[in-house]
């Protein structure tokens, strides 16, 4: 490189380094590399040189052009980071400050209802068990005696993942019953657990949501019978709705994983178009239950000749809607602070049987 080009190189790189903002750097780029830029003008004069001198000068100018362009890009990135830091410093907000004058948070009705369930069943000796939201087909269907042709396995009802594991597609669990299966596999009887958690089904309207919450219960013992199931659920319904004489009835029904199976109704009144829980001559279905099917016990490695038990399941949003008069399921997930202020609960209003359940 000639002394003239070396001097030009130092000058141009100094100009790039001296640019204090993106607008100034762009002006440097135009002055050096633009259609009328200094390097562009030098390259236009190559035609007047001898072939050998043209080749050497052209190579030197190309190297200079690439070096200056690289320096401009580097300076551009540096100035961009500095500009971003400046904006973040000047536009930052304190996310710990309340967005509105209200400083008191509220507990979501789903969280409050789960706490109430845990308090009631905990007093009966049930512990809380959890499991994954993404489940293997066997845990979600097969182990529960749900046959391959069952409608619940169809994609119109169930969310399947695209990937395959051992030739089967995992599913977003359609109930929390897989937690019961995992518990029976890993815990020796006797067993007494409830499994609250999120579940997923392909359905959406005022009373259904693609994601919702369920709680399922399981009790396994050597002498457990249908009378224990009825006593447990009658006590739960009366405690949860705080109606000491709440009518409760059991209607025979079919579920693949229990035998016999039943649906549970509670008494209510619809006089004047208003739903009121309690004695009133009408009935409202709230949950399903039954004695655990012997095949389900065997699938989990439990001897059905020695052990038996009962299981039940209910929608948490559904019983919350009934207890607290919430008319539309979809409002649970809309993140509307006005709704939460109306239906939410005080942070220290912790449900307990001794201190009372929230009303």
CA-closest candidate to residue 1, choices 48, 32, 12:
12
Report how far residue 7's alpha carbon sits from residue 1's, in angstroms, rounded to the nearest whole number.
10
pLDDT tens string, the chain, 359 residues long: the values are 566 777 777 888 888 888 888 888 888 888 888 888 788 887 777 777 888 877 877 788 788 788 888 888 888 888 888 888 888 888 777 777 766 665 677 899 999 999 999 999 999 999 999 999 999 989 999 999 998 877 777 777 888 888 777 778 899 999 999 999 999 999 999 999 999 999 998 876 666 778 899 999 999 999 999 999 999 999 999 999 999 999 999 999 999 999 999 999 999 998 888 889 988 889 999 999 999 999 999 999 999 999 999 999 999 999 999 999 898 888 898 888 889 888 888 887 777 766 667 55
219 backbone dihedrals φ, ψ, rounded to 5° = -135, 125
User: What predicted TM-score, i.e. pTM, was given to this entire model?
Assistant: 0.68
Segment (H or E) for 179: helix 177-186
CA-closest candidate to residue 184, choices 216, 223, 155:
216
Query: In a 10 Å sphere around its CB, with 0-12 CB exposed, 13-18 middle and 19+ buried, how is residue 187 labelled?
Result: middle
Q: Long-range contacts of range 26-30, CB-CB < 8 Å, 24 or more positions apart?
A: 28/72, 29/72
248-255 and 308-315 beta bridge pairing: unpaired
């Amino acid at each position: 490189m000639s002394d003239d080009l070396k001097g030009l190189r130092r000058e141009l790189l100094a100009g790039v380094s001296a640019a204090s903002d993106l607008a100034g750097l762009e002006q440097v780029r135009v002055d050096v590399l633009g259609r009328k830029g200094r390097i562009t003008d030098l390259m236009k004069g190559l035609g007047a040189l001898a072939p050998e001198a043209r080749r050497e000068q052209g190579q030197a100018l190309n190297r200079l052009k690439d070096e200056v362009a690289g320096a401009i890009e580097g300076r551009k990135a540096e100035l961009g980071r500095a500009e971003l830091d400046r904006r973040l410093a000047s536009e930052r907000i304190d996310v710990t400050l309340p967005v509105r004058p209200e400083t008191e948070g509220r507990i979501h009705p789903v969280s409050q209802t789960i706490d109430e369930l845990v308090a009631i069943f905990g007093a009966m000796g049930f512990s809380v068990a959890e499991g994954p939201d993404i489940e293997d087909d066997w845990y979600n269907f097969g182990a529960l005696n749900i046959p391959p042709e069952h409608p619940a396995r169809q994609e119109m009802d169930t969310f399947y993942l695209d990937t395959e594991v051992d030739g089967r597609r995992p599913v977003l669990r359609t109930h929390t019953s897989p937690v019961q299966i995992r518990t029976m596999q890993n815990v020796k009887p006797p067993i007494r657990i409830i499994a609250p958690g999120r579940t997923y089904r392909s359905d959406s309207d005022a009373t259904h949501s693609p994601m919702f919450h369920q709680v399922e219960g399981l009790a396994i013992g050597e002498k457990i019978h249908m009378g224990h199931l009825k006593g447990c659920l009658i006590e739960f319904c009366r405690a949860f709705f705080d109606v000491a004489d709440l009518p409760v009835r059991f209607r025979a029904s079919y579920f693949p994983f229990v035998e016999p199976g039943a649906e549970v109704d509670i008494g209510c009144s619809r006089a004047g178009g208003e739903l009121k829980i309690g004695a009133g001559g009408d009935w409202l279905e709230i949950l399903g239950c039954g004695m655990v099917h012997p095949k389900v016990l065997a699938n989990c490695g439990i001897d059905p000749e020695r052990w038996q038990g009962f299981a039940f399941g209910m929608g948490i949003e559904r019983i919350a809607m009934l207890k607290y008069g919430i008319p539309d399921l979809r409002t649970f997930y809309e993140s509307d602070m006005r709704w939460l202020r109306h239906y939410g609960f005080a942070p220290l209003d912790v449900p307990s049987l001794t201190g009372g359940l929230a009303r």
